[in-house]
Amino acid sequence: MNVHPYSRSFLVSFLALICMAAMIFAAPVTGQAIASDSGGQIEMYRLYNPNSGEHFYTGDGNERESLRRTGWRYEGVGWVAPAYSSTPVYRLYNPNAGDHHYTTNATERDNLVAHGWRNENIGWYSSDDNRSYPVYRQYNPNAVAGAHNFTLNGNEESMLVAAGWRAEGLAWYAVGPGYGVPQPVPTPGTGSGSGGATDSGVYYENCTAVRAAGKAPLYQGQPGYRPGLDRDGDGVACE
């Protein structure tokens, strides 16, 4: 049987398309969200607004410095986040209360947007691989601004819950711990003022030393507490 040249050409093209399709579907799929941490790490800066009581978190050093110039207090690195993962943490802003909120839950994000919050897109990422550094979320039912707090520090969470905050469980995962703002080195032995050792004889150079000793946070009256470690003057140092 003779096959028309056009028919033969069609059959060859058709078979070629089948082979190409087979290769495409057998190849690894690209362009999907990366399911593991990648691209390095980012320090997440923690700042405090003494007027509203809000804690704010950002990985942007320029944003941190801009807020410091307007009166926010820099409290150091809250935690270390992966530069990228498949689990984004969304950042939202309430223009009426002047408050920010952060969540990995897209449904919660959309619900807040429906109630007037502004979606400020992805703030950072939660770790997909590392479960050693859980960040916990607390809620203050009495606050208008600064209603939520996020911390790696279990002692800080316990202190807030004892003060009336509600523990809301896990917020996301970090890939590393944070650290406080380095304090000026005081002259030991000058009493319990802003610079020297306390009457107990226990002296910490800075909050990093307090955390390394497993004593954070320090409450006023406890060994090692001094005003020089208490940045916001609330009686709790290195929280």
% of the chain exceeding 70 in pLDDT: 73
If asked whether residues 48 and 70 sit together in one domain, one would say yes
Model confidence pLDDT, tens digit, residues 75-93: 999 999 999 999 999 999 9
What gap in Å lies between CA 121 and CA 75, rounded to an integer?
A: 24
Backbone angles phi, psi at 73, to 5 degrees: -100, 125
Looking at the fold, whether 144 and 88 belong to one and the same domain comes out as yes
pLDDT, position 36: 53
pLDDT band at 181 (very low <50, low <70, confident <90, very high): low
Between 92 and 210, where is the model more confident? 92
pLDDT band with cut points at 50, 70 and 90 for residue 28: very low
25-34, Cβ contacts within 8 angstroms, sequence gap of 24 or more: 33/86, 34/84, 34/85, 34/86
Q: pLDDT-derived band of residue 115, with 50, 70 and 90 as boundaries?
A: very high
- Per-residue tokens: 33: 């969200």
24 pLDDT band, cuts 50/70/90, is very low
Strand-pairing partners, residue 118, are 93
Tally of domains within the chain = 2
- End position of a domain, from candidates 161, 179, 197: 179
21 lies in a domain?
Answer: no
pLDDT of residue 2: 54
Are 122 and 221 part of one and the same domain?
no
What distances in angstroms separate CA 90 from CA 58, 110, 118, 194, 224, one per listed residue?
A: 12, 10, 11, 39, 38
22 lies in some domain: no
- State whether 120 and 171 are in the same domain: yes
Same domain, 57 and 159: yes
Q: Identify whether residues 50 and 129 lie together within a single domain.
A: yes
Count of CA atoms in the C-beta half-sphere (13 A) of 80: 11
80 plus 164 within the same structural domain: yes
- Whether residue 16 lies inside any domain: the answer is no
Cβ–Cβ contacts within 10 Å for residue 176, how many?
18
Mean pLDDT of 50-58: 92
Q: Is residue 24 part of a domain?
A: no
- Domain that includes residue 188, residue range: 180-239
Domain assignment of residue 103, yes or no: yes
Preceding amide of 227 cis, omega within 30: no
Listed ranges 153-157, 180-184, 234-238; the one with the highest mean pLDDT:
153-157
